[in-house]
A and B are shown apart, each in its own frame.
Chain A
Amino acid sequence: MKQFLVKSLWFLLPVLLFFTAVEIYIRNSENAFITKANYFQKNKEQIEVLVLGSSHNQNGVNPKFFRNKTANLSYGSQDIQIDSALFFSNVKQMKNLEKVVFELDYHRLDIENEPTFYRFPWYYLYYGIEVQPVKFVNKISLYSSNVDFFNNIILDQFSSNYKPQVINEFGFVEANYSNDFLDLNYDETKIEATAKERLKSRHKEVSDENFKHNVSRIESMIAYCKTNNIELYFFSSPLYKTYIENKIPKKDQKVKNYIQQLIANHKIHYYNFENTSRFELKDFSNDDHLNAKGAEKYTKLIDSIIYQ
């Protein structure tokens, strides 16, 4: 037995070292999620504006352009249950919080991440929130939350044509070297011709149950903000026309009706920039995401609205 244990451990030692090295590497390599989380944890008490939402706000709102201290906690595929968990788990410690900017886009009300969503462990590790039960192993290892994802990132980083993203201190990606529209040379004809194929399964989820849950989460946030004198602003992000043309009309109408109802019942601040001439093709990185240039415009616009 002793021989077996000693030999097995010697054999497994390089594997364990490899695992540990990978874990240390990914925890220390620069990425938007961790940078943003670290900025937030460090400055939580001074934050005056909190931005919540999905990738639309993640790519569209650069805290650098707000006049006051802002944290943008929006991430790709972040749903309203995570927004709500981030808000309620931190709001009491955010003593200077005055305003919340909330992304109320067409796709958000009908979605709710599956319990197996690979980023739940990340939120646990960096924000201490357990929206869905996180496996023990994922609590101790970031790598184990999505081995495939991290393998691809590591392999990419070691490839010869790798260009690192430029991430600012707020965790906002200011330079990204690949996106759909850039790949099509911002050729409007090509972008329009390929839109149907590109958007055939984008944001097509329709779920009354998720809708109901998300409505209740939003209403809890509204109620909390009202009682605690926090101003809550709802925005619909700028979208390129191809995305708007490929929306499901019935779903779109359902969301619009709900927003009307919100305005009527709660007198909320709501601003719709979905279809505005302020943004041109070159402000977008794809059909529904702004690029850094577009983000600068959009952020300044939000800033001027909330401080008007």
Chain B
Amino acid sequence: MLFNSINFAIFLPIVFFLYWFVANKNYKHQNILLLVASYFFYACWDYRFMFLLIFSTLLDYFTGLKMFDAKTSIGKKFWFWLSIGVNLGFLGFFKYYNFFAESFAEALANFGLHVDVWMLNVILPVGISFYTFHGLSYVIDIYYNKIKPERNFIDYAVFVSFFPLLVAGPIERATHLLPQIQRPRKFDYTTAIDGLRQILWGLFKKIVIADNCAEYANLIFNDSAHQSGSNLVLGALFFTFQIYCDFSGYSDIALGTARLFGVELLRNFAFPYFSRDIAEFWRRWHISLSTWFRDYLYIPLGGSKGGIWMKVRNTFIIFLVSGFWHGANWTFIAWGFLNALYFLPLLLANKNRNNIGIVAEGRMLPNVREIFSIGITFLLTVFAWIFFRANNMTHALSYIKGIFTKSLLSMPTVLPYSIFALLVFFITIEWIGREHQYALQRFGMKWPKFLRLSFYYLLIILIFAFMGKEQEFIYFQF
């Protein structure tokens, strides 16, 4: 069930009604309802993988309790590594088996040894990377005594499978989400209205911007060998907006939906394309994943505490792992590596925390220096997305080679003016709203009510006008 589908438009009000009008006497009943609704939501994708979700939930629930109750440190370690091993084992099997098998065979072939590796026809269970990371953070936090295990299985299962975040995040932390599940939620009018507004903005980003950009990005990437340099640049730009609006649109719908149920999820995006350097970009892009890697990989590896080489090593490790998390393909690893390279000069010059605040805060327009740094950062990002979108390394390299030809200066032949107009409209609203949680949050609040509502209807009309392609969210594959 996609967030941008009519099925979800029916599912959500039903669950909302039952949650606030039928199960509202006791928050435990609400939790049971959320769990049933979440499992139903997941089963709509593929009921066969329900067992995996339930198994993963049971595993982390029991190992959490066993770890906490263990009398000896060996016992604690046993349960800890059992959970880590099984979780990563499942993730590795479903997501990476074929990649490793194929890479192994290719490596042997380089030495003249030809082996027939066993390739499996494995379907990637939707959301596995997300719910596995939920579970891992929970188990790791218990192991390091940051939290106590949750004894109520229903509460824990809701934490893992709460339907707004189940298939593509944000990757929640037990310290943030579990306390909200363990206590009664009160309906708040302002929060709920804000949630609906965020859903509207998310749908606009996904259906109007991302799906339209996808059409042209696919057209150009799928036929890149026959495209001019200028078309290839446009293709990369379309993909840049596609992936941002696709994923941040999903996150907006997830956050907005959770708010309707009185739950606040972690923010996942903070206008990353207005970043002034790559370090800032990574503080604003897929925040829940970046902070996950920071807390559970970068810091345990020593973080920035050691010498400069330790910092460099750890930075490369988290970027490479982050790339690999996105998928079993060398292109994702190259994308991670490239971002690590971008990050390196800032790290060495100790300038990776220069741009912490909001760009041009309190001002309508950025200054020349800000425009320049935003432009450079944006171009670097666009370049890196080529690796992310390409089918394989050969495709990525030939795509880049195709850009740097004489035809780069030719007039592009793919010129969808209506999409350009929509992009300008979108970027303007994003810029105006950049000081808030999401662009539409305070947009038009000072306008007369009639005008503001008309603007919302305009967004709805655009959504309906472009609806129908129902493209899947890119991050479902991760």
Q: Tell whether A and B belong to one assembly.
A: yes
| Partner-B contacts on A (CB < 8 A) | 1, 3-4, 7-8, 11, 14-15, 18, 135-137, 141, 144, 146-151
Binding site for A on B (CB under 8 A): 6-7, 10, 20, 187, 189, 192-193, 196, 453, 456-457, 460, 464-465, 467-469
Known pairs A147-B467, A148-B467 / 19 extra A-B pairs, C-beta < 8 Å: A1-B20, A1-B189, A3-B189, A4-B187, A4-B189, A4-B193, A8-B196, A11-B453, A11-B456, A136-B10, A137-B6, A137-B10, A141-B6, A146-B468, A147-B468, A148-B469, A149-B468, A151-B465, A151-B467
- For residue A15, which residues in chain B have a CB less than 8 angstroms away from its CB? 460
A148-B468 in contact (CB<8A): yes
Q: Quick one: given A147-B464, A148-B467, are A137 and B453 in contact (CB under 8 Å)?
A: no
Complex alpha-carbon distance, A15 and B10, angstroms: 14
Q: How far is the CA of A135 from the CA of B9 in the complex (A)?
A: 14
Q: How far is the CA of A135 from the CA of B460 in the complex (A)?
A: 24
**Interface contact B457-A14, CB-CB below 8 Å:** yes
Q: Closest residue to B192 on the A side, CB-wise?
A: A4
* B465 cross-chain contacts in A, Cβ below 8 A: 151
- Bound together, the chains give a CA A137 to CA B187 distance in angstroms of 29
Which chain B residue has the least Cβ–Cβ distance from A150? B468
Contact call A151/B468, Cβ cutoff below 8 A:
yes
Q: How far does the Cβ of A198 sit from chain B's closest Cβ, in whole Å?
A: 17
B468 lies within 8 A of A137 (CB): no
- How far is A2 from B456 in the complex, measured between Cα atoms in Å? 22
In whole angstroms, how far apart are the Cα atoms of A141 and B5 in the complex? 13
Are A151 and B457 CB-contacts (below 8 A) given A4-B189, A144-B6?
Answer: no
- Residues on B with beta carbons closer than 8 Å to the beta carbon of A8: 196
How far is A142 from B192 in the complex, measured between Cα atoms in Å? 31
CA–CA, A15 and B464, complex, Å: 10
Contacts of A1 in B (CB 8 A): 20, 187, 189
CB-nearest residue of chain A relative to B453?
A: A11
Q: How far is the CB of A105 from chain B (nearest CB, A)?
A: 30
Chain A residues with Cβ below 8 Å from B467 are 147-148, 151
Determine the chain A residues whose CB is within 8 A of the CB of B193 once the complex forms. Answer: 4, 7
A-B contact pairs, 13 of them (CB 8 A): A1-B189, A4-B187, A7-B193, A11-B453, A11-B456, A15-B460, A137-B6, A137-B7, A147-B467, A147-B468, A148-B468, A148-B469, A151-B467
| A240 nearest CB across to chain B (Å) | 28
Chain B: CB-nearest residue to A138: B6
Shortest CB distance B83–A (Å): 38
- Quote the shortest CB–CB distance from B422 to chain A (angstroms): 16
In angstroms, Cα B187 to Cα A11, docked, is 19
Which residue of chain B lies nearest to A135 when distances are taken between CB atoms in the complex?
A: B7
Q: How far is the CA of A18 from the CA of B465 in the complex (A)?
A: 12
Q: For B10, what are the chain A residues with a Cβ–Cβ distance below 8 Å? A: 136-137
Complex-state Cα separation, A148 to B467, whole angstroms:
6
Q: How far is the CB of B249 from chain A (nearest CB, A)?
A: 18
How far, in whole Å, are A8 and B13 apart by their CA atoms in the complex? 11
Inter-chain CA distance A3–B454, complex, in Å, is 20
The answer for the CA separation of A7 and B189 in the assembled complex, in Å, is 10
- Chain B residues whose CB sits within 8 angstroms of the CB of A136 once the complex forms: 7, 10
Q: Shortest CB–CB separation between residue B471 and chain A, in angstroms?
A: 11
Residue of B6, B460, B464, B465 with most chain A CB atoms under a 10 A cut-off: B6
A3 contact set on B, CB distance < 8 A: 189
Cα A148 to Cα B7 in complex, Å, equals 16
Whether the Cβ atoms of B464 and A151 lie closer than 8 Å is yes
Quick one: which of B192, B460, B467, B468 has the most chain A CB within 10 A? B468
B6 cross-chain contacts in A, Cβ below 8 A: 137, 141, 144
Question: What chain A residues lie within 8 Å of B453 (beta carbons)?
Answer: 11
Q: A9 → chain B, closest Cβ, in Å?
A: 10
For residue A146, which residues in chain B have a CB less than 8 angstroms away from its CB? 468
* Bound CA span A182–B7, Å: 42
Q: How distant is B275 from chain A, measured CB to nearest CB, in Å?
A: 34
CA gap between A149 and B467 in the complex, in Å:
10
Alpha-carbon gap, A4 to B196, bound state (A): 11
CB-defined contacts of B464 to chain A, threshold 8 Å = 18, 147, 151
Residue of B nearest to A147 (CB): B468
CA of A155 to CA of B456, assembled, Å: 21
Which chain B residue has the least Cβ–Cβ distance from A146?
A: B468
A135 partner residues in chain B, CB cutoff 8 A? 7
CB distance from B190 to the nearest CB of A (A): 10
Question: How far is A14 from B454 in the complex, measured between Cα atoms in Å?
Answer: 11
Distance between A25 CB and nearest chain B CB, rounded to angstroms: 14
> Which B residues are CB-close (under 8 A) to A137?
6-7, 10
C-alpha gap A200/B196 in the complex (Å)? 47
State how many angstroms separate the Cβ of B452 from the closest Cβ of chain A: 11
Closest-by-CB residue of B relative to A7 is: B193
Q: A14's closest neighbor in chain B, by CB?
A: B457
**Shortest beta-carbon distance, A153 to chain B, in Å?**
12
Determine the chain B residues whose CB is within 8 A of the CB of A147 once the complex forms. 464, 467-468
Distance of A8 Cα from B20 Cα, bound (Å):
15
Cα-based distance from A7 to B196 in the complex (angstroms): 12
B414 to chain A, nearest CB (A): 18
The 5 closest A-B pairs by CB, nearest first: A148-B468, A147-B468, A147-B467, A137-B6, A144-B6
